[in-house]
Structure 1
Amino acid sequence: MDILVIEDDPLMTETIRTAWPVPSDRLLFLSTYKRAVHYVHSSEIDYFDGIILDVNLPDGNGIEILRSIRRNTNVPVILISGAGSGDSRADAINLGADDYIMKPFHIRELQARMRRLVEQRPKQQPKDRKEQVFLGNVTCDLQRRIMMYNGNEMRLTDAEARIIEVLHGNRNRNCSKSFLYKNAFFRDYDPYDKTLDVYVSRLRKKLKQLNEDSEHCIKTVRGSGYRYNEL
C-alpha cells in the first residue's frame, strides 16, 4: 500500500515508521497543514491507497483537511487523535472519515484497519480514454498524434501526447513533476532530469504557432510542476 501519514509529533511519526508491520508498504510523512494542503489539492492525492490524519496539527485543523479530501477523492482516511469525545468522533465520521482511532494505539492494529479499508474500497471504473481533447483552442488528436487549428496541423511525439493526456485529464488541478513522470514517462522523478521541462517548452511553442492564446493554457506551478487551465 501507498499511505500518506499527516502527523506532526516526531515521536509518533518515528513509532509508525519503525513499527509498521509490512515492509513493502510505502509511507510518506507530512508534518504540517501547509504541506498537506498542497497534496490534497493536487491530482497526486488519488495515487495513495489510504491516509492517516492527525486531527490536531500545529498550523491547522485536520478536520479541514478531511473536508478537502472528501471534495476530491474517496481514498480511505483514518483519523488519529489524543483527545476527543464520542460526539466529536461521530462528527468526523459523518464528515467522511472511514475510521477514528484514539492514541495510544498499536501500529499493527492501525495497519490492519487501513488494509481492511483499502480492500473494501469500491474499485474505480477506468476512465474512458479520449482520443481528441482541446488545449485552449487547439484540437489534439491523441490517437493520430497531431494538433490542429484552422486547417493547420503539427505532429506530436508519443511523449508529448502522453503529457497532454495527463494534464487534460487533471485539468484545473496542479500536477506535480513526480506525478507527471510517473504517468507520462512511467519512471520516478529525478530533480536533475529536465526531460519534462523540455517537452513542455516544445508543446508551448507548437501551441503558439497554431494559436497564440492557447500557449498560455499550460501553466507552470512554481516549485511543483504544471497545470492545464481551460481558456
Structure 2
Amino acid sequence: MQTKTLLIIDDDKELTTLLCEYLTPQGYEIDLAHDGEEGLNKATSHNHYDLILLDVMLPKLDGFEVLKRLRQSHLTPVLMLTAKGDDFDKVFGLELGADDYLPKPFNHRELSARIKAIVRRMDYLPASSSQQQIQIDDLTITPSTQSVSCSNINIEMTATEFLILHLLMINSGHIVSKQDISEKVMGRKLMAFDRSIDMHLSNIRRKLAEHSTLEKIKTVRGTGYLFVAHT
C-alpha cells in the first residue's frame, strides 16, 4: 500500500503520541497540530493529506470552526473525534462536511478500521475513472474527475457525498438500503442510532436543491433511499 499521510489535530499530546506509535507501523505518515489555528494552517497549506483526524475541543479555534473554514477551499476527508454520547457534535460535524465521526474515548482498533475505510473510499475514486459519465435529468456526475453538475453548474461534494450519490444514481429507480450504503460507501456495517448516512443525504439534497426544483432522492421509510428519474 502506498504510504498515506494523516494530519492529527488534537491538543492531547499524550494521546497524539500514542496514536503516532500505533499508526506509524501500519504504514501511515503522521503530522501533528495541537491547536485549531496550527491545524487549519497545515490543512490548507501545500501539504497533501489523505485524511485529517480532527478533535472538536481545541484551543484557539475549535474543531467545528476549523472544519467550516477548511471546507471553503478543501475537500480533504475529515474524521471528527467527538465527545462520547454528544449527538450534537456528531450531527453538527457531519452538517459541516465531516466524512465520519468517532466518539472519544475510542478503541484503537476501531479508529484504525475507520481510517482504512475512508482511505479505501478515496482510493476507489481514481479506480472508478473507467466508469462512464452518468446523466439523469439535469444532473450529471463524472467518476473520473469526481465532479457533479446540476443545471450545468458545478457542485462541490466530499468524496463520501459523491460516492453515495453515485451509488443511488447507478441504481436509479431501485431502493438502496441504508445497510448497503453503509457497507459499500462507509465501509462498515450499519450501527444502531448512526446518523451519518442521514446527514450525508441531507447535505447532498441541500446542495442539489440550490440548482434544481426536481426532487431527486426520496426516503422510503424503514427501507432506504430511491433516486428518481423524471424523464
Q: Which has the higher contact order (CA 8 A, sep 6+)?
A: 1
Asked which structure has the greater CA Rg, the reply is 1
